[in-house]
Amino acid sequence: MRLGIVGLPNVGKSTLFNAITKAGAESANYPFCTIEPNVGVVDVPDKRLDVLEKIYNPKRKIHASIEFYDIAGLVKGASKGEGLGNKFLSHIRESSSIIHVVRCFNDDNIVHVDGSVDPIRDIETISLELIFSDLEILERRMEKSIKLSRSGDKKAKAEMEIMEKIKAHLESGKPVRTLEFTDEESELVKDLFFITSKPVLYAANISEDDLLSGNADNDFVKKVKALAASENSEVITVCASLEEQLATLSEEEQNEMLSEYGLTESGLDKLIHSSYKLLGLMSFLTAGTDEVRAWTIKNGTKAPKAAGKIHSDIERGFIRAEIVSFDDLVKCGSEAAAKEKGLFRLEGKDYEMKDGDVVNFRFNV
């Protein structure tokens, strides 16, 4: 899963991304966390793995991972080639969702590109560039569909009707994700890969002073929350400068610093958990003396498909899944005790995985 981070210059995007890459560098599983200069890989926080580690005493513990993509070059006119233009657009299309960093703090030492702090204006600037890009793609697709529909192609005719609906919506300045579709329309639309159909998480970047003074929900943040609610998006508050400091500290030192600011978790952890929720993701777990590990899947994934996350052979030769819930396993204290109490169960091909399932897949190839 790759999350694209966007934001205008001087909003804290680079600072937040630096914190992400530093956090990734601390991960034992990803010693070369920066796959490319603009990609950072970090662990998905999951305290359940710590508990399983105590039960199984494995050789290694492996978290699920998440990729953050620092998408540069997003300025006014990007859709027409300004800044990094089309390069930025191709990067953002590869992302599962968009993390939009918005400046929600005043600081005379950090100049804003538009001369003043206005998070709503900033959001609209970026949104319009994405809308312009989608309109360009839409118009090219419509040209093809017009020719096909004239030749009697029924699918092309249905596509044209939907595209007219989308075009009117985009031209009114609204993203595709705020448009409601029937199931049939959704099937046709998903092949068009609109940038503005991607889910958005707004990261409202506040100052350390706001955190210390209890003003994390300042007037700027409230405006962002109101806008996000109108388009069914999520908002989290982060302090990018604090995150950059936290990323260089040990876990114990991090907890001390978070406590000083009255926080129970870091902004990065909030960002990851909110992204999971936004994308409808969850984790199942595998455990043994070799390793304990978390695997990311979509909500509603059936057992064979989940098995395929581990290896395609396991999906192909799936027989059944031997499952115990994490909570039941922990209550019993060991796998043997959970089996003795009959808490393990066998599930077939139609079983929908649940978050926290501890599973052993049985297969034959």
- Residue 346, Cβ density class (10 Å: 0-12 exposed, 13-18 middle, ≥19 buried): exposed
CA 46-49-35 angle, to 5 degrees, is 65
CA 235-240-245 angle, to 5 degrees, is 140
List, for residues 267-324, the tens digit of each pLDDT value.
999 999 999 988 999 999 999 999 999 999 999 999 999 999 999 999 999 999 999 9
Q: Which residue has the tokens 């409202």?
A: 204
Is 289 marked as binding a ligand?
no
In the prediction, which pLDDT does 148 show?
A: 80
Answer yes or no: are the C-beta atoms of 303 and 318 closer than 8 Å.
yes
The 3-state DSSP class for residue 321 equals: strand
Is 10 marked as binding a ligand?
yes
Averages of pLDDT over runs of 10 residues in the chain (365 residues) are 87 87 56 58 93 97 91 61 57 87 87 80 91 90 83 81 93 92 83 88 95 92 96 92 91 94 91 90 97 97 98 97 98 96 97 98 94
Is 39 marked as binding a ligand?
no
Question: pTM of the prediction?
Answer: 0.85
In the prediction, which pLDDT does 98 show?
A: 94
Distance CA 48, CA 39 (A): 27
Q: What pairing do the DSSP bridges indicate for beta strands 65-70 and 234-238?
A: unpaired
Which CATH number does 130-196 carry?
Answer: 1.10.150.300
First to last CA, the chain: 29
**Three-class SS string for 22-54?**
HHHHCCCCCCCCCCCCCEEEEECCCHHHHHHHH
In the prediction, which pLDDT does 62 show?
A: 97
In the prediction, which pLDDT does 27 show?
A: 47
* Beta partners for residue 100, in sequence order: 6, 202
Which two structure tokens, joined as six digits, stand for 212? 């210390």
Answer yes or no: are the C-beta atoms of 308 and 314 closer than 8 Å.
yes
Which CATH number does 300-363 carry?
Answer: 3.10.20.30
Distance CA 209, CA 223 (A): 19
CA 173-179-183 angle, to 5 degrees, is 155
* 42: enclosing H helix or E strand: strand 39-43
The residue extents of the domains of the chain are 2-45+65-115+198-279, 130-196, 300-363
Is 207 marked as binding a ligand?
no
List, for residues 144-181, the tens digit of each pLDDT value.
888 887 777 777 788 888 999 999 999 999 999 999 98
Which CATH number does 2-45+65-115+198-279 carry?
Answer: 3.40.50.300
Answer yes or no: are the C-beta atoms of 291 and 59 closer than 8 Å.
yes
